[in-house]
Amino acid sequence: MTPATESADRDFLRELAHSPHPVWQAVLAAMREGLLIVDRETTVLVQNPAAESIFPPPPISSRPLRLIDLTRDPAVHEGFREALDQGTSRELRFELRRGEPRVFHVTITPLRFASEEPQAALGVFVEITALEHLERVRRDFFANLSHELRTPLAAILAYVETLQEVGLEDPEHARRCLEGLFRQAQRLHALVRDITDLAEIESGVVALSLDVLPLHTLVEDVLTLIRPQAQERDISIANEVPEDIQVLADPFRLTQILQNLLDNAIKFNRPGGHVGITARRSGERVLIAVTDTGIGIPPADQPRIFERFYRGEKSRSRETGGSGLGLAIVKHLVQLHGGEITVRSEPGRGSEFTFSLKTAD
């Protein structure tokens, strides 16, 4: 290592930094990764456009741009320092908290050319925001799933144990245990069905079989299935859909959407309450609304109810048998039809779920 080779390296780097060569410039511009080359004085020699979006350079700077002008993150500075002083590489996680938080995996490597001592260090910033988000979603999914499975399974085990211990000598007790077993097995069955459904819909393997459907009649068919449940809880239901409205939809999937919304409208209602289904044309679309006079949804819950496994406090404490997947399925199915779903709700007064479909007129 001689001063001559060091200065040769420095000259080479300076030349590279200012090289207008189109290939070099094209490479820098095409990279999605942020790239910074910093010299021993921590002057920034190279900053590609992706790195400029991470670290916007100060608007006016009379002196050469330094690393400290771009970031004050101690780990990034330490990484470059280590690469320059000790010649070692470093990997680190870097969080950008300006605006929407972004996360990066950073690799900092010393750059050596003619001299043994690194004259610069190269930092590559790979964005991992989406990856970390997906990882979190996946972890939450499995945590929620095992929680939802554990509850009915624990109940089933408890019933079986009771049957083994005392049940068979006491027919009345045995009957109650069997009823409980049946309820919990049904719950498990519904959960597995919803998960399979959601997985299929989300993976995009579900193909819609679109048809021109008279909405009033389809709603009537769904009500035939759901009315016993409403009667049991003394809730009236009215099909207020005009007879002349036709939609372009998959009959099986539209039934599923309505069933889920009506099921909730009954489940979260109060005895003597009311549920209504209305529809109106709006340009190329039909807006279908399911309204109820039920318990309503607290404003804080409203943005979250379409998430997988999200259940309001009332659903959890009331033992409604729901898994929190119903609205996630509904949302996906509506989107698959090219529509949208929104909710308006007032705690204590009721809720209104409105979704759009294409008109078949």
Residues that bind ligand ADP (CB under 6 A): 264-265, 268, 292, 294-297, 305, 310-312, 314-315, 320, 322-328, 351
The answer to whether 336 and 253 are in contact (CB under 8 A) is yes
Question: Judged by CB, which is closer to ligand ADP: 119, or 323?
Answer: 323
Question: Judged by CB, which is closer to ligand ADP: 46, or 327?
Answer: 327
Structure tokens at 156: 């089933």
Nearest of 25, 47, 22 to residue 122 by alpha carbon: 47
Question: Judged by CB, which is closer to ligand ADP: 42, or 323?
Answer: 323
- Residue 239 Cβ vs ligand ADP, minimum distance, rounded to whole Å: 17
Question: Judged by CB, which is closer to ligand ADP: 222, or 305?
Answer: 305
Question: Judged by CB, which is closer to ligand ADP: 113, or 310?
Answer: 310
Structure tokens at 283: 């340009």
Q: What are phi and psi of 124, to 5 degrees?
A: -115, 125
- Residue 264 Cβ vs ligand ADP, minimum distance, rounded to whole Å: 3
- Residue 200 Cβ vs ligand ADP, minimum distance, rounded to whole Å: 17
- Residue 135 Cβ vs ligand ADP, minimum distance, rounded to whole Å: 24
- Residue 311 Cβ vs ligand ADP, minimum distance, rounded to whole Å: 4
- Residue 224 Cβ vs ligand ADP, minimum distance, rounded to whole Å: 20
- Residue by residue, what is the 3-state secondary structure of 302-350? CCCCCCCCCCCHHHHHHCCCCCCCHHHHHHHHHHHCCCCEEEEEECCCE
Question: Judged by CB, which is closer to ligand ADP: 13, or 305?
Answer: 305
Q: Compute the distance between CA of residue 171 and CA of residue 117 in angstroms, rounded to an integer.
A: 87
Q: Quote the DSSP letter at residue 165.
A: H
Q: Compute the distance between CA of residue 275 and CA of residue 318 in angstroms, rounded to an integer.
A: 20
Question: Judged by CB, which is closer to ligand ADP: 110, or 273?
Answer: 273
- Residue 251 Cβ vs ligand ADP, minimum distance, rounded to whole Å: 21
Question: Judged by CB, which is closer to ligand ADP: 167, or 296?
Answer: 296
The answer to whether 47 and 65 are in contact (CB under 8 A) is yes
- Residue 332 Cβ vs ligand ADP, minimum distance, rounded to whole Å: 11
- On the 0-12 / 13-18 / 19+ scale of CB atoms within 10 A, 151 is middle
Quote the distance between the C-alpha of residue 277 and its chain's center: 29
Q: Compute the distance between CA of residue 105 and CA of residue 127 in angstroms, rounded to an integer.
A: 6
Nearest of 312, 351, 350, 356 to residue 331 by alpha carbon: 356
